[in-house]
Structure 1
Amino acid sequence: MLPCFLDCQPFSVVLDALQDGVAVYDRDGALIWINSKACQILGMPREELLGRNVSELATLPTVQAISAPELVGRSFAEIRQHYTRIEDYTSPGYMMFTNGKQMLYMGANVRDEQGAIQYAIATIRDVTDLNEARKKVEELQKLTSLYQAQLRTLHTQVLGRDIVYQGEVMRKVLERTLRLARLDGNILLTGETGVGKTLLARYIHVMSRRAQGPFIHVNCASLPESLIEAELFGYSEGAFTGASRKGRKGVIEMGHGGTVFLDEIGDMPMAMQAKLLTVLEDKVLRRIGGEKWVTLDVRFLAATNKGPDALLQGKVLREDLYYRLATNRIDIPPLRERSEDVPSLIDHALAEFNEQNGTHLSFHPDVVRQLQTLPWPGNVRELKNVVWQLASENEEEGGTITLQMLPLDVMGALAGANGLPGLNSQSVLPSRGDDAGEAQRWRELCQQYRGDVYAIAGALGVHRTTVIRKLRSYGLRYAHKKSSRAPRTEFDASATALASSPPNGRHSYND
């Protein structure tokens, strides 16, 4: 007996016209009604399907497999038993057909007032195209991940693996940098000396649509005022005495189709700033002594180690030029404001040293933690310099560089950074400026310990290589006498505040 809603001809006609298959089963699981689309999907005429039990669904010749979550791993007999129970027919599943089609089926039970099941209605939808689209999306996602990985590798290779960071501060800076790089506006990079403005400028160029064009780096501070105009704008034949007979392009013109990076823009003379402003606004220039205007396609990047207030109030940079360049501004924070990056930068710098010199040096974690407390006024450039200095001076020792191996100037800086007092007046070496006094103090130490570098190192709490370097720098004789070696003390930052001046050429934190 058909349900009353199927006895209604208009409603039955509507169901038969649906693009989804619809089947109705009685309480015993026998098929009592099926629409045309379901017959088409199952590949059998209506007459052969009516009266069949739902358990026969999996045995139809056109059905290859049926998959439902609760049937995974079940035997065929268990699957048939499952579909015999009409109350379980509401669970969704997939039907795979021999022609390669994939169908999604879902069931719903119709109950009477007492809650007893009267009928079950099943819908069948062709999801072959949907599944194919999903597979393509998954493939595209995999390709996207692959391309992103390759792009990161390319970034690393192109930029020499020098963009190293660990913390959130630089991550945000680099995200902003990447966004601006993809645009084509001028950018002003601000930050203290050594933070990596030049590296970031190259990164912007590489990540821009101008990556295939030239990247011209101009250090404005290094150009003599008498030559800066010719260097920037070029000159025509016979423009001045000594000029090339063929004339010469300036660096701005050489950057056509690419990027021109004006480093230390604040050191450019005001007269040149006015001429540069014309280039920025009109995208044309005229060589010295020339009459022809040259049209340019150049993106300008500029960098300064001064803040906006110092640039404008100090009359270092023209206000109109500043606003032309600073439409997009990237402020690079100093290393002291992102100390979380220090360990990664140390590892990176030491890895470079090891790779270039065939060594296998490493830093003790205590050294890294101590170096992380320093203010690093010279920023990343200074940090790399110190890492290479420490590695070079301890290369013969090999292995791990410990606190006791740090040179006196670094140890003194650590003491100052941690607010620790120096040694008493009997132990403190003379101040940096008193070379004669320092030499005398080392002579006294050498005499007191009979030139035993182990004893001197133990007394000062430093590594013997530090003592050897000092003794050598003052021409003092020394000896290796392990038998008389003084017991080494644990590292005490106060004992490192000897404040001894480094030999000529040594890096200093207080410069």
Structure 2
Amino acid sequence: MFDSQDVAEKLPFGFLVVNSKGYITFANEICEGFLDLHKSKNIQDLLPGSTIIKVIKEGNFEVTNYYLNERTLLMNFPIVKQDLGAILIFQEEIFQGFVNHLPKVIELKQELEAIMNLSGELVTITDANGIVLRVNNTCEHFFGVREVDLVGKSTNSLEKAGVINVSSTQQVLEKKRKITMHQTTKSGRRLMVEGHPIFHDDGTLNKIINISKDVTEISNLHEKLEETRILLDYYQNELSHLQKQNKEMVVKSRAMEKVYELVCRVANVDATIYLHGETGVGKEVLARTIHQLSNRKKAPFIKVNCGAIPESIMESELFGYTKGAFTGANKEGKKGLALAADKGTLFLDEIGELPFSLQAKLLQLLQEKQFTPLGGTEPVQVDVRFIAATNRNLEEMVKKGSFREDLYYRLVVIPINIPSLSDRKEDIPFLINHFKEMFNQKYRLNKSFDPEVIQSFIDFEWKGNVRELQNTVERLIVTAPDQCIEMKHLPEQFLPSYASKTRNIGNGLNLKEEMERYEKLILLQVLETSSTMKEASVKLGVDASTITRKVRKYNINVAKLQFQL
């Protein structure tokens, strides 16, 4: 018989005494909450699979998990020299309370806390159901919420609440393996997250540990680097324009004679000139001609392509900035393109692409000939002549509210409409000759054009206008193997049989190669007739990123195709 019954009755957990035959000789009152002692006194009836008899015989201590009316922990140990065994029955949370107060456990928790907080990275631990158990002290910096608002919450609910855009824990729960992913938090931080599953010995999921590294600054640097690359390409393109020779206008048709006569009359007048015409008709050439004919020709001609400079840096590029205006700015500040054009001409190309947020500031520059640099407080006065150009319908943009009405009327003081190439076909033979001489000199060649080719160019519908004609002439000068360029050297779209050839299926043609060839042809044609990648994407009805990917795939030199005439 068990000798310490009074002590056992006072214990805060279940206590059973069992003999070597499995018969229960003692049970304290707490056991009645777990077992039906009136039903049987045999341990195998009440706790099937119990290992207590084995423990009594072998004399070894053993701990097992068991499910009664809730999850419990059984501690089995022998009572030496009495041929008895004892079973301690703990509710899991009560046992956890005991364990948490053990000195060794307290020491381990302190060490874990120190390790989690010393890393400088965000560490979260969840259970197998995705409930947050623990986070380190960087959570408020990363998530923008306090630790108390995270612990005990499901990661699924945190995702729905927008604390994170996507849960790494849910990914681990679905895939049952380590994952690496990007995550954006409510506070705008960008994280690189590794989710690590921790398994029980039986292979079931126990916990998930997520370790997150803040890569926000790295991402911002990548974006700034890309913006700088775009800007560098833009300025390199501008430099190539300045280095080109023989840029004089070809004026042979009556339509262009009228335009040139008007240009000569207004060149020395400082009123703002508004050039309108289709893509590739030669708006920049006309703007440079106006500058060369004016009394400002010895001063700078500064071009601003409103569709080529990223919107995020447009203001600083156009108006400049003061010292320390923003993080990453040049320590000495920057004067901007408006100031660079002082005493000269500021050419606002693709003005219809100017962000609405900058239109008011440009209006101030047009009206008062002054502007305030980014980060500055004092206005800067300039003496500038303005020329604006676009192929868009600004009147329609004004009606739709995407372009300021007051800015529109300030720009359209002297409007000049440049006719498309289809309205001045008389110029085509002279343009061909002009470009032929220019590229023969550039590439040190002596190519000529067959009269039949010139006639086919006159009959052709140049959707890209003069720019497309120029690019076609250059391509033929460079690629034609013979001294005289004949019909056989022309691209397929110029050949009468082209349509029938494209319908010819079979004959050993590879479908994938033919589709790619045709796709590249379409891209070349559209890019030749577009001023910007954005404009090309609109024409083709696809996202700009798709155009960028295809250009890279087919190794197309966009800067060369989009040479501004």
TM-score by length of 1: 0.51
TM superposition shift of 1:403: 1.6
Are residues 183 and 353 of structure 1, via their aligned partners in 2, closer, same or farther at CA, if it must alter by over 3 Å? same
Could you give the per-residue CA deviations for residues 248-293 of structure 1, whole angstroms, max 9, x where no partner exists? 2121112111111111111111110111101111122111221212
Measured in 1, the distance between the counterparts of 2:451 and 2:347 equals: 39
Q: Is the partner of 2:415 in helix, strand or coil?
A: strand
* Amino acid across the alignment from 2:500: G
Q: Is the partner of 2:500 in helix, strand or coil?
A: coil
Q: Which residue in 2 is equivalent to 1:289?
A: 375
Question: Is 1:254 paired with 2:340?
Answer: yes
- 1:48-67 aligned at under 5 Å gives the runs none
Q: Which residue in 2 is equivalent to 1:196?
A: 282
Could you give the per-residue CA deviations for residues 438-484 of structure 1, whole angstroms, max 9, x where no partner exists? 799xxxxxxxxxxxxxxxxxxxxxxxxxxxxxxxxxxxxxxxxxxxx
Are residues 321 and 379 of structure 1, via their aligned partners in 2, closer, same or farther at CA, if it must alter by over 3 Å? same
TM superposition shift of 1:313: 3.0
Measured in 1, the distance between the counterparts of 2:342 and 2:516 equals: 58
Are residues 430 and 312 of structure 1, via their aligned partners in 2, closer, same or farther at CA, if it must alter by over 3 Å? farther
* Amino acid across the alignment from 2:447: L
Measured in 1, the distance between the counterparts of 2:405 and 2:304 equals: 21
The alignment of Structure 1 onto Structure 2 pairs a total of residues equal to 282
Q: Which residue in 1 is equivalent to 2:409?
A: 323
TM superposition shift of 1:424: 10
Are residues 313 and 374 of structure 1, via their aligned partners in 2, closer, same or farther at CA, if it must alter by over 3 Å? farther
Measured in 1, the distance between the counterparts of 2:460 and 2:267 equals: 32
Asked if 2 retains the 8 angstrom alpha-carbon contact of 1:191 and 1:304, the reply is: yes
Question: Is 1:334 paired with 2:429?
Answer: no
Measured in 2, the distance between the counterparts of 1:217 and 1:387 equals: 26
Measured in 2, the distance between the counterparts of 1:361 and 1:505 equals: 26
Question: Is 1:402 paired with 2:486?
Answer: yes
TM superposition shift of 1:212: 1.7
- Name the structure, 1 or 2, with higher relative contact order (CA <8 Å, separation 6+): 1
2:314 paired residue among 225, 228, 252: 228
Are residues 314 and 377 of structure 1, via their aligned partners in 2, closer, same or farther at CA, if it must alter by over 3 Å? farther
Measured in 2, the distance between the counterparts of 1:328 and 1:282 equals: 18
Measured in 1, the distance between the counterparts of 2:508 and 2:514 equals: 6
CA RMSD of aligned residues (A): 3.2
Question: Is 1:422 paired with 2:500?
Answer: yes
Q: Which runs of 5+ in 1 are unaligned?
A: 1-156, 441-502
TM superposition shift of 1:210: 1.3
* Amino acid across the alignment from 2:482: E
1:214 paired residue among 296, 300, 306: 300
Measured in 2, the distance between the counterparts of 1:214 and 1:310 equals: 33
* Amino acid across the alignment from 1:317: F
Measured in 2, the distance between the counterparts of 1:251 and 1:303 equals: 17
Q: Is the partner of 2:459 in helix, strand or coil?
A: coil
Q: Is the partner of 1:227 in helix, strand or coil?
A: helix
TM superposition shift of 1:174: 0.9
Q: Which residue in 2 is equivalent to 1:343?
A: 429
TM superposition shift of 1:391: 1.9
TM superposition shift of 1:310: 3.5
Could you give the per-residue CA deviations for residues 47-90 of structure 1, whole angstroms, max 9, x where no partner exists? xxxxxxxxxxxxxxxxxxxxxxxxxxxxxxxxxxxxxxxxxxxx
- 1:17-28 aligned at under 5 Å gives the runs none
Question: Is 1:179 paired with 2:265?
Answer: yes
- 1:101-250 aligned at under 5 Å gives the runs 160-250=246-336
Are residues 362 and 310 of structure 1, via their aligned partners in 2, closer, same or farther at CA, if it must alter by over 3 Å? farther
TM superposition shift of 1:404: 2.5
Measured in 2, the distance between the counterparts of 1:158 and 1:405 equals: 26
Q: Which residue in 2 is equivalent to 1:128?
A: none
Could you give the per-residue CA deviations for residues 112-159 of structure 1, whole angstroms, max 9, x where no partner exists? xxxxxxxxxxxxxxxxxxxxxxxxxxxxxxxxxxxxxxxxxxxxx997
* Amino acid across the alignment from 2:351: I
Are residues 161 and 256 of structure 1, via their aligned partners in 2, closer, same or farther at CA, if it must alter by over 3 Å? closer
Are residues 185 and 257 of structure 1, via their aligned partners in 2, closer, same or farther at CA, if it must alter by over 3 Å? same
Are residues 278 and 367 of structure 1, via their aligned partners in 2, closer, same or farther at CA, if it must alter by over 3 Å? same
Q: Is the partner of 1:266 in helix, strand or coil?
A: helix
Are residues 356 and 245 of structure 1, via their aligned partners in 2, closer, same or farther at CA, if it must alter by over 3 Å? closer
Measured in 2, the distance between the counterparts of 1:428 and 1:166 equals: 47
